[in-house]
Amino acid sequence: MRIRELLAPDRTRYNLEGVSKKRLFDQVAQLASSSRPELDEQEVFDALVARERLGSTGIGEGIAIPHCRLPSCLQPVGLLIRLEEPIDFDSVDGRPVDLVFVLLVPESNPEHHLRTLSHLAALFNEPEYREALRQSNSTEALYRNAVDSETELQLTS
């Protein structure tokens, strides 16, 4: 599933103050529930925290992809956050995280969930993609770069 199918401008944030994983998840849960009324803020927060307890979703290079399955989620939902200051995420490479893509998915169809996660990890593993996101200077630019840079990478690969 492509970024443009997951993400929306109202679920993208530039220079969000995070300070910690828990505070970040709290803000993400608020944003998700305000954007998608079927998502319960507390349920999103609890599911993200529970998933993170299983192991860090920090994949390295300053990237984290927190994700969880939710009974109230009707279709996959993405949120893209660029943090004002990087935060410790217990990432595999030990680097603090400044780019976060949150993936919320329905409980059904775990294979689709895993394929989407795999696509996101591969995309964020591309230095050109990460750089395009880090060069963004507004929420609008971050959203546009996320969608457009994915398309460019797929055309050239």
Cβ of 56: how many Cβ atoms within 10 Å? 16
Cβ of 102: how many Cβ atoms within 10 Å? 25
Strands (E), 23-91: 58-60, 63-64, 67-70, 77-87
Residues whose CB falls within 8 Å of the CB of residue 15, separated by 6 or more in sequence, listed in order: 82, 83, 84
Q: 67, 112, 113, 119: which one is catalytic? A: 67
**Catalytic: 113?**
no
Please list the active-site residues: 67
